[in-house]
Amino acid sequence: MAEITPAAVKSLREKTGAGMMLCKKALTEANGNEEQAIEILRKMGAASAGKKEGRVAAEGAVGSYIHMGGKVGVLVEVNCETDFVARTEEFQALVKDIAMHVAAAEPRYVTREEVPADILDKEREITRAQIANDPKNANKPAQVVEKIVEGRLNKFYEEMVLLDQPFVKTPEKTINELLTEKIAKTGERITVRRFTRYKMGEGLAKRDEDFGGEVAALAGGNQ
- Residue 123 Ramachandran class (φ > 0 left, ψ -120 to 50 alpha, else beta): alpha
Whole-structure pTM over 0.75, yes or no?
no
Weakest-pLDDT range from 40-44, 127-131, 174-178, 186-190: 40-44
Domains of the chain, residue spans:
6-44, 59-112+161-221, 116-158
What is the phi/psi pair of residue 3, to 5°?
A: -75, 130
Read off φ and ψ for residue 196, nearest 5 degrees. -135, 130
Predicted confidence band of residue 44 (pLDDT cuts 50, 70, 90): confident
| Architecture label for domain 116-158 | Orthogonal Bundle (1.10)
Residue 207 has pLDDT above 70, yes or no: no
CB burial of residue 167 (10 Å; 0-12, 13-18, 19+): buried
| Residue % of the chain over a pLDDT of 90 | 40
Distance CA 45, CA 48 (A): 6
Task: Convert the pLDDT of each residue in 129-153 to its tens digit.
Answer: 888 788 877 777 878 878 888 888 8
Q: Write the single-letter amino acid at 99.
A: A
Q: What pLDDT, on the 0 to 100 scale, is given for residue 49? A: 40
Q: Which residue has the higher pLDDT, 68 or 171?
A: 171
Confidence at residue 218, expressed as pLDDT on a 0 to 100 scale: 66
**Domain with residues 59-112+161-221, CATH architecture:** 2-Layer Sandwich (3.30)
DSSP code, position 144: H
Give per-residue pLDDT as tens, 85-96: 999 999 999 999
Measured CA to CA, the distance from residue 64 to residue 75 in angstroms comes to 5
Q: 6-44 has which CATH code?
A: 1.10.8.10
**Residue 105 in 3-state DSSP?**
helix
